[in-house]
Chains A and B, each alone.
Chain A
Amino acid sequence: MVVSFINKMVKDSLVLLLFCLFLFLFLFAEELKNISFFTRIPSTFFNVNTIFLSIILEAIPFILLGVFVSAIIQSFVSENVIRRVVPRNAYLALIPAALLGIIFPICECAIVPVVRRLIKKGMPSHVGVVFMLSAPILNPVVYASTYFAFKSTPYVANARMFVGFISSIIIGLIIYRRFKGENILKVQKEDQHHHHHQRGNKLLVTLYHASDELFDTGKYLFIGAFLASLFQAFLDRNVLLSIGTSTTFAPMAMMGLGYVLSVCSSADAFVASSFGSTFTEGSILAFLVFGPMIDIKNTLMLFGYFKKKFVIYLLLVTPLVVYFSVFIFQQIFL
């Protein structure tokens, strides 16, 4: 009894202390900066911090959006609707799934919670995966930004859409063959679950639900963003230039770069265009297609939501498929 009382006291004071810390920082952060201790911190730390913060600030609104869409699907879309909407033929269902991004332009941060919810609601896993991989590429916002970034070579935008479409379908097929009928989502103590039917406000429940999911997703986002900002600050991209002209290795290198940088898919075209003419078209394409599909920050989110076996499989299959799609595309068109 006494122990639990002390326990509660400690926790409450911790919470209060935390609040005071935030309030104090809000009011007096400027004054603190003059402390001599901070001037001794190397400037790379500040750069990492700045890049990290900016990734977080950019991603959080879309995570929130994804979380709310997921909550809305949870509350208002029934299993029956999904069963009716998705085509019965497993192969036929892939094509509309790959094009869904045109109507729902969701970026790669927002899509993971949404897809998890859809799969939970009965969408076949391979259809969900195709939607997850293609939506961040095949959407109007991304098309427009790619078109602008490669204004002098406009076919890059079209090629990106095309290769993105083809590779996500192929990945969907492979996933279908391998994980047919299997549950790819993480199972979390479903057994002890007891249904308390909520009498209260449905809106309130949705909001509680959203806040829980925000923290669930948020922790992976924060770790992922931190890793990405380390790569952003320390990886010398000029190292890549030496292999930029090789048709075999350059796409690999650029895919690796797309993976570690974790730039949002609506902005990565500008990063790619800064590599300019030193890289082959194929490698730029590989960067533009692979980066939005899988990168550090959404890998972590995937591990949070899906079974390990599935995520590892996806992490192996996706780069291979993208690489070979780009390679073949290169042989035919470039």
Chain B
Amino acid sequence: MRSNKIQDFSFHHLIRGIILIGFMLLLFKLLLTNNISLLIAPKMIRFIYFTLFICLILGVLLIIRGTSGKDHSYHCDCDGGHTYPSSFGKSVFLYLLFIIPITTGFLFSNNVLGSSVAMNRTIKLGATSQPTEQKKIINNSSNLQSSSNTNKSNTSNNTQSVLDNQPEPLTQTEYDALKNKILKANMINIEDNQYVNIMNIIQDNLNAMIGKTVTTKGFVYREKEFMQNQIIVARFGITCCVADASVYGMMAKGDVATLPKDKWVQVTGRIEQTQFNGETIPVIKIVQLSKITAPQQPYVFDLGIKIE
């Protein structure tokens, strides 16, 4: 009876070791194929290296522990806090819980989110501080605050800069430089690496943007209320991982009725403004539209702004 129990434990150690090694292999493969960037933001990848390393160590250790059969007497002094499943059925359930995701991870990690997910999310087409009926005083004050943004961030957040761990976000000065550049430019190319920032600048300063020529890439997405000639050239913006993906994009108007959803396009046109769901939003009047293949990195990353 007693020996049976010991046997049972070493089996658990062994199978847990293998699962950790499997998980390690999955991470390794994701890094090799660069599919990892379809799941989490680049700034998180160093944590994946850390995890890979730890999983390897723990996995090898557990396999040794499970095969050597020497240290049955091991008892951590943690008040019996750890439990092993008591029946065969429970073991199967517990380990399948880990094995199935690792398997599907190997097989389907190259999936890219598209319209079907975008449909369920809210999409930001205009500025956040756009005044609407139900908010009265707040919005006026918030607009004021956004103009004095620079000063505010400089004074109130000195303490945060040390612990701010985002890798290469723009500093406030760089952001302002980018903003000035865009306000002055006549041709704006919305590049992937500054996508979210440029979109925010365009949405927040819509009046100054009207008439400028803009080029943007994205997949075709339609809201339910859209007319035949309207699409959104959309991108998923990711902060940490795909779970927090939000949809960014700009409405485009033109001869687009035949474009299938999720098709990647590059659109060039002039910025105008329009009303949508009670908000004033920018819209691109399409001059030129070309179908493109999906880029290697379909997501854009929200690096944020370094607070100094």
User: A residues within 8 Å of B by Cβ?
Assistant: 4, 7-8, 11-12, 14-15, 18-19, 21-23, 25-26, 29, 32-33, 38, 43-44, 46-47, 49-58, 60-62, 64, 74, 105, 120, 140-141, 143-145, 147-155, 188-190, 192-196, 198, 200, 204-205, 207-216, 218-219, 222-223, 228-229, 232-238, 241, 245, 261-264, 266-268, 270-271, 273-278, 280-281, 334
B160 touches A143 (CB 8 A): yes
A308 CB, nearest partner CB in chain B, Å = 16
Indicate which residue in B3, B19, B29, B40 contacts A57 across the interface (CB closer than 8 Å): B40
B212 at the interface (CB under 8 A from A): no
User: B residues within 8 Å of A by Cβ?
Assistant: 3-4, 7, 11, 14-16, 18-22, 25-30, 36, 38-40, 44, 47-48, 50-51, 54, 57-58, 61-62, 65, 71, 73-83, 94, 97-99, 101-109, 111, 113-114, 116-117, 119-124, 126-130, 132, 134-135, 138, 142-143, 145-146, 149, 152-153, 157, 159-160, 162-166, 169, 200, 204, 237, 239-244, 246-247, 279, 302, 304-305, 307
Known: A26-B29, A29-B106. 11 other contacts (CB 8 A): A46-B108, A64-B54, A120-B79, A141-B163, A143-B157, A144-B160, A152-B149, A271-B246, A274-B122, A277-B132, A281-B135
* Interface core residue of A144, A218, A228 (most chain B CB under 10 Å): A144
B76 touches A212 (CB 8 A): yes
Indicate which residue in B111, B122, B239 contacts A50 across the interface (CB closer than 8 Å): B111
**CA A245 to CA B105, docked complex, whole Å:** 40
B203 CB, nearest partner CB in chain A, Å = 10
Q: Is the interface of B mostly helix, strand, loop or mixed?
A: helix
Q: Is the interface of A mostly helix, strand, loop or mixed?
A: helix
With A22-B18, A58-B40, A223-B97 in contact, do A267 and B241 touch (Cβ < 8 Å)?
yes
A-B CB proximity, top 5 nearest? A22-B22, A61-B47, A54-B242, A25-B106, A54-B241
Q: How many inter-chain residue pairs (CB < 8 Å) link A and B?
A: 292
User: What are 17 residue pairs bridging A and B, where the CB atoms are less than 8 Å apart in the complex?
Assistant: A25-B103, A26-B28, A46-B108, A49-B104, A50-B108, A57-B30, A64-B51, A144-B157, A147-B153, A148-B307, A151-B305, A153-B128, A154-B145, A211-B20, A219-B94, A237-B120, A261-B243
A190 touches B79 (CB 8 A): yes
A264 touches B241 (CB 8 A): yes
B71 CB, nearest partner CB in chain A, Å = 8
Indicate which residue in A19, A47, A219, A281 contacts B21 across the interface (CB closer than 8 Å): A19
**CA A234 to CA B61, docked complex, whole Å:** 40
A47 CB, nearest partner CB in chain B, Å = 5
A315 CB, nearest partner CB in chain B, Å = 22
Nearest-neighbor residue (CB-CB) of A239 within chain B: B120
With A267-B240, A270-B302, A274-B122 in contact, do A26 and B138 touch (Cβ < 8 Å)?
no
Nearest-neighbor residue (CB-CB) of B61 within chain A: A207
**CA A100 to CA B171, docked complex, whole Å:** 28
Residues in A whose Cβ lies below 8 Å from that of B39? 50, 53-54, 57
B246 touches A274 (CB 8 A): yes
B122 touches A238 (CB 8 A): yes
A8 touches B7 (CB 8 A): yes
B199 CB, nearest partner CB in chain A, Å = 12
Indicate which residue in B44, B57, B130 contacts A58 across the interface (CB closer than 8 Å): B44
**CA A267 to CA B132, docked complex, whole Å:** 26
A317 CB, nearest partner CB in chain B, Å = 26
Indicate which residue in A15, A188, A237 contacts B11 across the interface (CB closer than 8 Å): A15
A190 CB, nearest partner CB in chain B, Å = 5
B97 touches A152 (CB 8 A): no
A191 CB, nearest partner CB in chain B, Å = 9
Nearest-neighbor residue (CB-CB) of A204 within chain B: B61
A277 touches B121 (CB 8 A): no
* Interface core residue of B65, B101, B128, B143 (most chain A CB under 10 Å): B128
Indicate which residue in B18, B65, B279 contacts A208 across the interface (CB closer than 8 Å): B65
With A46-B108, A47-B116, A267-B239 in contact, do A274 and B75 touch (Cβ < 8 Å)?
no
